[in-house]
Structure 1
């Protein structure tokens, strides 16, 4: 699991720092836990700074299982230290099968240690490792807070980021190209139960008798595993990806079971609503909610997809309403649900807006092709 890279020493702008790869602890409190937690807490803090809220944060205990189940989506953590303090962090995510030349990166620098060359050195180090492994197509998603001044528009024609923001200048300077804008949205809870029931009834009636909703908590029932694996695979090809051209991400039943074992090892709970096509007895759409254990924290909307050949029946709205009712029935008391959608995905954005989601921030999806 831990490959390791040499600890590199730097002295830039009168600051001495080191860059190293972190080993992944076996469990909370085990060897390496303090550094692992500090690195992820830093990522959360930088994201919260960009969005103006910490509602999107996942705790280190919630994220640790994802670093233990790396058979299908290997990931690595890197940090920069000044003395013993972690002042910047980076993460790489890849696909074990397919997309061999692709990697997804993230960089976070503590606000007190920016403009010292630390972020540049860390980015160059991690990008270089990825390129040396043949992963020359490098993707990065990062929040861009609103600001006055000139804008950099996405080539999709939907959305833009402030051209003079530090993260925008940083990425442009490193050869990244803006390809897409993602909108982060928030739905305040609780919803009125009577209105929710009425809306669900109306949407279900509009969808017609050819479709029926299935809901569950935790692992996918065995009879639906093949269908859910197909839906996950189609997430990588059917969702709008602009000029990112991200590779197909193929899911098998074994991969689905591994993914759900990861969730079962996390403190969070996964709620799923899916829609069955009666005549074929196959699932043709689904949506997920990731529920934290603490009631004061917001719920995260995960994957949502309706197969293209079954669109036009209101099934996206149907599964979202069904899962919101499941959330209210099984895990009431959370303040909100958060979600992300491509800004050009106007249909799903309209669905979310009809449900009551409001924008909470925007992030850019960037792409860089490195020289190998």
Structure 2
């Protein structure tokens, strides 16, 4: 390809798809899609710029900044900086993506330099990077959790190790081909309900949650940030309130995706003790995204995870049939949830490494 010049700039997030800056924002999103499609060998993880815009427009609870690298006027790389709004926060989440044809020219290093400089300026001493690691022959770097590994010779592995990051966790990306045969899925749900017993029942909704469940959901979302396996990443608690849930729902309503939620109600206490979410694109030819799933620790061991997943897939089939697949991500050490997914029919489609760097 030869030597070429490139520039790194921060993008102002456009207010709407017709506002100034939209072409660059859309181009940055195309870089994300291209990089993930190349890494996983599928377009199932693609999202449109219109779908991701609401998340970038809302900065109340998470601060995000977006950078792009341009070569000859073309956006060929992107950098994503995210942190919590509190001055006392230690963590920041970084992501760098460069089109395959433009790699090994210093673009990734320049983008990460910019992101790490912001982390230093804001005194974010813990930097976390999640990045896919396609399978490859040769020596492996094992996860310190004892579950999973990444190819030691992969470019992203060498790059992050050179920058001082250490592997903390391996995450599995899985795919469920749709439609799921309704009879086996129903049997899974019924068996899970029988083991859970009469104290537990499922409530379901589309998009906005009923107001009566907002306090319970706030607790569940907060616990999602601490109860999900995070290995040595030690990711911080993110506090949720009913007001934050309403704001997030309002933000999501500005985008074209539909949220399907199933939750478990514990009858004796009158509280929700688990939930799972699916995000459904408007176009039926595109894949559905499995978002958070959580059962409170004190209610585990009753197959409530299977009950939730099966119930929400039945809701998907009833409300939005015709999509080709569902994709999901789980820590390799989260064997219980992986077993649930495998029983339903999810199959691995790739892996990513979760990396951490600590600075003084």
Task: Output aligned runs, 1:1-372, within 5 Å.
Answer: 14-97=3-86, 100-371=89-360
Q: What CA distance in whole angstroms lies between the structure 2 residues aligned with 1:94 and 1:54?
A: 28
Structure 1 stretches of at least 4 aligned residues deviating more than 6 Å after TM superposition: none
Asked if the contact 1:270/1:290 (under 8 Å) is kept, the reply is yes
Asked if the contact 1:98/1:247 (under 8 Å) is kept, the reply is no
Deviation at 1:82, TM superposition (A): 1.4
Q: Which region of structure 1 is more displaced relative to structure 2, 127-136 or 93-102?
A: 93-102
Asked if the contact 1:233/1:249 (under 8 Å) is kept, the reply is yes
* SS of aligned partner of 2:285: coil
Asked if the contact 2:89/2:124 (under 8 Å) is kept, the reply is yes
Q: What CA distance in whole angstroms lies between the structure 2 residues aligned with 1:196 and 1:159?
A: 28
Q: Deviations over 1:258-298 (max 9, x none)?
A: 11112111100000000000000000000000000111111
Asked if the contact 2:185/2:344 (under 8 Å) is kept, the reply is no
Q: What CA distance in whole angstroms lies between the structure 1 residues aligned with 2:144 and 2:88?
A: 23
TM-score relative to the length of structure 1: 0.94
Deviation at 1:198, TM superposition (A): 2.8
Q: Which runs of 5+ in 1 are unaligned?
A: 1-12
Deviation at 1:14, TM superposition (A): 3.9
Q: What CA distance in whole angstroms lies between the structure 1 residues aligned with 2:86 and 2:175?
A: 34
Q: Which region of structure 1 is more displaced relative to structure 2, 86-95 or 96-105?
A: 96-105
Deviation at 1:195, TM superposition (A): 2.5
Q: Deviations over 1:332-372 (max 9, x none)?
A: 0111111010000101110111111100000000001134x
